[in-house]
Structure 1
Amino acid sequence: MTAPSRSFSRRLLLTRGAAVLGASSLALPPLARAQGSKIKIGLMLPYTGTFAQIGNAIEAGFRLALQEQGGKLGGREVEIVKLDDESEPSKGVENASKLVQRDKVDVIVGTVHSGVQMGIHKVARESGVLCLIPNAGVHAATRALCAPNVFRTSFSNSQPTLALGRPMVDKGLKKAVWISWKYAAGEEAFEGFRDSFTQAGGSIVKDLWLPFPNVEFQALLTEIASLKPDAVATMFAGAGAGKFITDYAAAGLKGKIPLWGSGFLTEGVLEAAGAAADGIMTAMHYSDSLATPRNQQFRLDYAKAFKSQPDVYSVQGYDAGLLLIAGAKAVNGDLGAKPALYKAMEGAVIDSPRGKWTMSKAHNPVQDFYLRVVDKGENKVLGVAAKALSDSGAGCKLA
């Protein structure tokens, strides 16, 4: 799998998620778990197809966190059950149900594809099984459909772009054009940019959209040139992002109209984009180049354990492990002590390679987002774009 397609896998056809969630309800009985000798964890991740590399990175990060605890949670041995979700939303409910009813897992860690996530979410809400989301950014999971037993360790789709507005206005960029794919992930990312940019005093000249996954950008780039904004803000990812970056430069806009975006715009595509990417500004909750002892030690330990370099997905899997460890320690491994378990997880301070973060009332990370610039093929951190940034949690009734 190429680096561009690997990055692309975090941006997904979320529009299918609502249909999955709206499927006929399963009659799942409440969970009844005996305090056995082992804690069973179901890893429901993509292990084949386009998204396999991300699934493997998440699992590696998660396993590293457990290895640091001697492979135990709250003193109890751990058994891991792996299930390939195939990034197929239509199988989300069925596969999650297998883990809960057949394999009787205590925890589900999953997944990448937000359409699949909504299937897992349905089962988690109905069964009460603890669910940790290590990637999928779909808003509903920690907004209107939030649940006491569901925790996310990655981001909501609007968080990276919610960090863009203030830095752009601070640089004097007060009129912007937005461009993205017309699907739920793009619309949720636009929400973050719209709110942060306008609240900082900027104005959006126009928002431009393409059907997902269309990559014929030329007509819209011509329109951008005619609008002459101070800057362009965007959310693209993977191969589509790489093509947008090169097309943007080829259209003569590079160096004339600054390009800003969600951090996933430049994740995994810099080698393919080459010099066309230089100068692009992004906001992201992690960067390989974070010069902190915590990140440097994590990268060293990960490389030793897996003979590869970690990425943002590895960190999100690692942090899912850290969050579970914090909860299990508080209840001495008794994951059936749910009120105490959830309270501990809600109050945990996660000492992550990305920087310390906490959990919002809606169970989404409250975390720093870094301002980055592409310089000679690297995303270099310039500073913090937004400190302790929280998703709105709109519609969540947990608290």
Structure 2
Amino acid sequence: MTSPTIRRRGLLQSTLVLGVLGAPPIIAARGETSVKIGMVDPLTGILSALAASEVEGAKYAVARINKKNGILGRQVELLVEDSANDVGTGVQKTHKLIERDKVDVIFGDVNSGIAYAMSQVTNEAKVFQIVPGGHTDPITGTDCKWNVFRICNTTSMDATAVTGELVKRFGKKFFFITPDYAYGHTLQDSFIKHLKALGGTYQAEMLPINTSDFSASLIKAKAFKPNVLLNNMGGLAQINCMKQFTQFGMQNEMHLGGALFELETIKAVPKEAQSGTWAMEWWWDQPNVPEAVAFVADFRKATGKTPSARHWFGMVAVESVRLAAEKAKSLDGLKMSRAMEGLALPPDIAAQPGTIAYRAGDHQLMSNIFVGDVHPPTSNPDNVVTVTNVVPGEHAAGPVADTGCKMVYPS
């Protein structure tokens, strides 16, 4: 057994070393470990730009929280793993974070299929999981789980928010270019449901998520002569599709639109393709919301960037862990999940109007959807969207009963 004198000397030495490195000495004195958050995202591959922003937003929040005594008095450590946009890799990395790194919480993944597969692992291990940016409906619908919460909208919410606007302003003849995986399937199904209800017609092309040549699909779209072309691809695939769309001169023949055209992607396409009507899941330019103005200013100061929705997802994920842990007074997965149900984000975290809360019945965050028109930059490089309508999340989501979620907690 180690003597009290030796233990005290060891603690003092550790405190001095940690103090030099900048860590709060109180943590070493208490012998407490850090709060570990594991994050799995596709840092390589076609969705890497979106994933990088989520990670950056999470790191921003970790740094901010650690300056304020961390979570439950413990510093926060973010462990990031690359899923490489591959389901098997994402599952493997999730196992590693839980079993080897002993993380308290898991985030991920941008790819909805990976996020869903990860949820099977975290549920079995009873580890609290937040899905910052994977959209497919079943995650908080038919396959909902007691330990899983989601920040971004469901595909149904995005489609509900924007379909009527597109039909009203441009017509009811749509052509879809959609990725052939979980996100694309549920998104296109939702669009078609709403379009048919409004008496619309459509044609659709379902393509691999990593498609780079869209010429055949765009030729079909030209022949169909739609009022609106909905580019449902994501990341680099969406960028390539947009570039080829403008090379074919199709911006003069039909309107663009869809569920998501994210800030990272808008800035990466030719200005001719910076157009259309889309759903934004969080938007930085909210001059009448002081908390949003303050968040944007602080994020710019910390990173030199204007925050996108993906940055906001990452920030909210970390802050939600803090809020749930403080409410539960624990990092236990079951206790945190109970604490998170119905939890409303404080205004400085929500950074948007209204009450933004995790719905108890399906664990879906009810945030606003900013429907707007994309255009080339005006006053600054990030001023590329004019918001025309703000749709409350509850309105777009509909009742929990319609999602198919049957929430079951461990007995």
- TM-score band by shorter chain is 0.7 to 0.9
Partner residue of 1:397 out of 385, 406, 410: 406
What letter is aligned with 1:99?
Answer: L
Q: CA separation of 1:368/1:76 partners in 2, compared to 1, >3 Å: closer, same or farther?
A: same
Match of residue 176 from structure 1: 174
Match of residue 357 from structure 2: 358
The secondary structure found in structure 2 opposite 1:197 is: helix
**Mapped partners of 1:223, 1:52: distance in 2:** 29
TM-score by length of 1: 0.79
**Mapped partners of 1:53, 1:258: distance in 2:** 26
**Mapped partners of 1:48, 1:243: distance in 2:** 19
Q: CA separation of 1:174/1:131 partners in 2, compared to 1, >3 Å: closer, same or farther?
A: same
Q: CA separation of 1:331/1:275 partners in 2, compared to 1, >3 Å: closer, same or farther?
A: closer
- Write the deviation string for residues 3-38 of structure 1: whole angstroms up to 9, x where unpaired: xxxxxxxxxxxxxxxxxxxxxxxxxxxxxxxxx944
Q: CA separation of 1:279/1:90 partners in 2, compared to 1, >3 Å: closer, same or farther?
A: closer
Q: CA separation of 1:167/1:295 partners in 2, compared to 1, >3 Å: closer, same or farther?
A: same
Cα distance, 1:71 vs structure 2: 4.4
TM-score by length of 2: 0.77
- Write the deviation string for residues 55-102 of structure 1: whole angstroms up to 9, x where unpaired: 443333234434544444553213425142342422333332232233
- Write the deviation string for residues 217-238 of structure 1: whole angstroms up to 9, x where unpaired: 3333333333333322231223
**Mapped partners of 1:54, 1:251: distance in 2:** 27
The secondary structure found in structure 1 opposite 2:75 is: strand
What letter is aligned with 1:398?
Answer: M
Cα distance, 1:172 vs structure 2: 5.2
Partner residue of 1:104 out of 96, 102, 105: 102
- Write the deviation string for residues 233-292 of structure 1: whole angstroms up to 9, x where unpaired: 23122333233223333434323321111223x543444432322431111212233333
Partner residue of 1:257 out of 254, 258, 276: 254
**Mapped partners of 1:279, 1:47: distance in 2:** 27
Cα distance, 1:131 vs structure 2: 0.9
What letter is aligned with 1:379?
Answer: V
Partner residue of 1:90 out of 75, 88, 91: 88
**Mapped partners of 1:240, 1:337: distance in 2:** 36
How many pairs does the alignment contain? Answer: 361
Cα distance, 1:165 vs structure 2: 1.1
Whose RCO is larger (CA < 8 A, sep 6+)?
Answer: 1
User: Are positions 1:384 and 2:380 aligned together?
Assistant: no
The secondary structure found in structure 1 opposite 2:251 is: coil
**Mapped partners of 2:260, 2:340: distance in 1:** 27
Partner residue of 2:320 out of 323, 326, 329: 323
Q: Is the 8 A contact 1:245 1:276 kept in 2?
A: no
Q: Is the 8 A contact 1:180 1:186 kept in 2?
A: yes
Partner residue of 1:130 out of 124, 128, 131: 128
Match of residue 206 from structure 2: 209
Q: Is the 8 A contact 1:290 1:381 kept in 2?
A: no
Q: CA separation of 1:304/1:162 partners in 2, compared to 1, >3 Å: closer, same or farther?
A: same
Q: Is the 8 A contact 2:231 2:238 kept in 1?
A: no
User: Are positions 1:286 and 2:254 aligned together?
Assistant: no
Q: CA separation of 1:72/1:135 partners in 2, compared to 1, >3 Å: closer, same or farther?
A: farther
**Mapped partners of 1:93, 1:271: distance in 2:** 32
Partner residue of 1:347 out of 325, 342, 350: 342
Q: Is the 8 A contact 1:186 1:235 kept in 2?
A: yes
**Mapped partners of 1:190, 1:157: distance in 2:** 8
User: Are positions 1:40 and 2:35 aligned together?
Assistant: yes
Q: Is the 8 A contact 2:156 2:397 kept in 1?
A: no
Q: Which has the higher helix share?
A: 2
Partner residue of 2:332 out of 336, 340, 343: 336
- Write the deviation string for residues 277-310 of structure 1: whole angstroms up to 9, x where unpaired: 2431111212233333222211211222234332
**Mapped partners of 1:182, 1:323: distance in 2:** 31
**Mapped partners of 1:306, 1:194: distance in 2:** 40
Structure 2: state its 5+ residue gaps: 1-30, 378-382
Identity among equivalent positions (%) equals 21
The secondary structure found in structure 2 opposite 1:310 is: coil
Q: CA separation of 1:114/1:230 partners in 2, compared to 1, >3 Å: closer, same or farther?
A: closer
**Mapped partners of 1:54, 1:168: distance in 2:** 25
**Mapped partners of 2:43, 2:218: distance in 1:** 35
What letter is aligned with 2:54?
Answer: I
**Mapped partners of 2:388, 2:324: distance in 1:** 31
Cα distance, 1:130 vs structure 2: 0.7
Q: Is the 8 A contact 2:327 2:339 kept in 1?
A: yes
What letter is aligned with 1:260?
Answer: G
**Mapped partners of 2:317, 2:224: distance in 1:** 44
Match of residue 23 from structure 2: none
- Bigger mean CA offset, 102-111 vs 36-45: 36-45
Q: Pairwise CA RMSD of aligned residues?
A: 2.9
What letter is aligned with 2:376?
Answer: K
**Mapped partners of 2:241, 2:333: distance in 1:** 49
Match of residue 185 from structure 1: 183
Q: Is the 8 A contact 1:287 1:379 kept in 2?
A: no
Structure 1: state its 5+ residue gaps: 1-35
**Mapped partners of 1:226, 1:47: distance in 2:** 36
**Mapped partners of 1:56, 1:219: distance in 2:** 31
The secondary structure found in structure 2 opposite 1:135 is: coil
User: Are positions 1:75 and 2:84 aligned together?
Assistant: no
Larger radius of gyration: 2
Q: Is the 8 A contact 1:178 1:204 kept in 2?
A: no
